[in-house]
């Protein structure tokens, strides 16, 4: 047996040189203790994954659940932050710096169950579609964003607006930034696709003059846009 083999066996027999001053809790996240090669215990525990969830916790009621979505091929997961009991839970998203925080995915629906309270400013996505130069049926210019800065080259009518792609409905705030009237056709029972039609609530067309604004919400039960 050569000297190199003996040296190797000697290393295996003595084990590694990472040490801990005390036993480490099962499933705990191991941390460095500031020494050259030492480690220490922590209060953060990652439970053995079950078939559905991974739980990260500190031994108390508060925990984070990571739930893989096996129905999707993209490997996404749901995250639940739970303080336990019936008390309130505060979830802070973002950092103390002025960095943006994105919630949800582009083209997907993000649902808030219960009351959503905003303590600061809510910034809505703003869109400026191309100037409307003819009457529109199945208009797609409002597909992006929430606040719509619309303009026309003359008095033009939007007969219908393409319905939202998601079952959760949609919300629009339309501002006429042009110099001519923008008219929303009241549902006449005939023009365009039924699900794209607009109920103005007036029994007649809704005229949005220059510098005026209105809000629309998509009523998924009636399958119609409604002017608020």
Task: Tell me the mean pLDDT in the region 109-131.
Answer: 80
Range of the structural domain that residue 60 is part of? 26-84
State how far the Cα of 194 lies from the Cα of 154, in Å rounded to an integer. 26
- SS3 category, 87: coil
Query: Is the distance from CB of 61 to CB of 83 less than 8 angstroms?
Result: yes
Condensed to tens digits (0 to 9), the pLDDT of residues 10-56 reads 555 555 677 777 788 887 788 887 767 788 887 777 777 665 566 66
* 46 domain residue, yes or no: yes
Of the residues 84, 101, 116, which one is the last residue of a structural domain?
84
* 203 domain residue, yes or no: yes
Query: Is the distance from CB of 198 to CB of 174 less than 8 angstroms?
Result: no
* 17 domain residue, yes or no: no
* 62 domain residue, yes or no: yes
Whether residues 140 and 194 fall in one domain: yes
Q: How many CA atoms lie within 13 A of 70 on its CB side?
A: 3
* 195 domain residue, yes or no: yes
Residue 101 has pLDDT above 70, yes or no: no
Quickly state the pLDDT bin for 219 (edges 50, 70, 90).
very high
Whether residues 160 and 76 fall in one domain: no
Length of the chain, in residues: 228
* 163 domain residue, yes or no: yes
**Extended strands (E) in the chain:** 19-20, 31-32, 38-40, 45-46, 54-57, 63-68, 77-82, 126-127, 147-150, 156-158, 171-176, 182-184, 198-199, 206-208, 213-219, 224-227
Whether residues 138 and 191 fall in one domain: yes
Whether residues 148 and 219 fall in one domain: yes
Q: What is the count of structural domains for the chain?
A: 2
- pLDDT top residue among 32 and 8: 32
SS (H, E, C) 117-133: CCCCCCCCCEECCCCEC
- Ranking 64-78, 99-113, 139-153 by mean pLDDT, the lowest is 64-78
* 1 domain residue, yes or no: no
Whether residues 134 and 215 fall in one domain: yes
Residue 76 has pLDDT above 90, yes or no: no
State how far the Cα of 200 lies from the Cα of 184, in Å rounded to an integer. 8
**Most confident by average pLDDT, 46-55, 104-113, 212-221:** 212-221
Residue 165 has pLDDT above 70, yes or no: yes
Of the residues 34, 65, 84, which one is the last residue of a structural domain?
84
Q: Report the percent of the chain where pLDDT is more than 70.
A: 64
Residue 129 has pLDDT above 70, yes or no: yes
What does pTM read for this prediction?
A: 0.59
* 166 domain residue, yes or no: yes
Whether residues 135 and 217 fall in one domain: yes
State how far the Cα of 142 lies from the Cα of 88, in Å rounded to an integer. 38
Whether residues 75 and 134 fall in one domain: no
């Amino acid at each position: 047996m050569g000297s190199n083999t003996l040296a190797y066996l000697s290393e295996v027999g003595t084990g590694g040189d990472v040490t801990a001053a005390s036993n480490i809790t099962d499933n705990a996240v191991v941390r460095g203790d500031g020494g050259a090669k030492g480690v220490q215990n922590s209060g953060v525990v990652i439970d053995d994954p079950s078939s559905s969830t991974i739980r990260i916790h500190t031994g108390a009621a508060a925990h984070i659940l990571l739930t893989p979505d096996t129905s999707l091929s993209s490997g996404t997961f749901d995250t639940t932050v739970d303080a336990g009991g019936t008390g309130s839970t505060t979830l802070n998203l973002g950092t103390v710096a002025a960095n943006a925080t994105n919630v949800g995915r582009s083209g997907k629906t993000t649902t808030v169950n219960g009351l959503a309270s905003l303590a600061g400013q809510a910034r809505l996505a703003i869109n400026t579609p191309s100037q409307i130069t003819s009457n529109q049926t199945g208009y797609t210019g409002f597909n992006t964003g929430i606040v719509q800065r619309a303009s026309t080259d003359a008095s033009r009518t939007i007969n219908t607006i393409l319905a939202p792609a998601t079952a959760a409905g949609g919300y629009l705030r339309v501002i006429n930034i042009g110099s001519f009237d923008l008219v929303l056709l009241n549902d006449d029972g005939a023009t365009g696709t039924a699900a794209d039609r607009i109920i103005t609530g007036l029994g007649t067309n809704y005229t949005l003059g220059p510098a005026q604004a209105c809000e629309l919400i998509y009523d998924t039960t009636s399958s119609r846009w409604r002017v608020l």
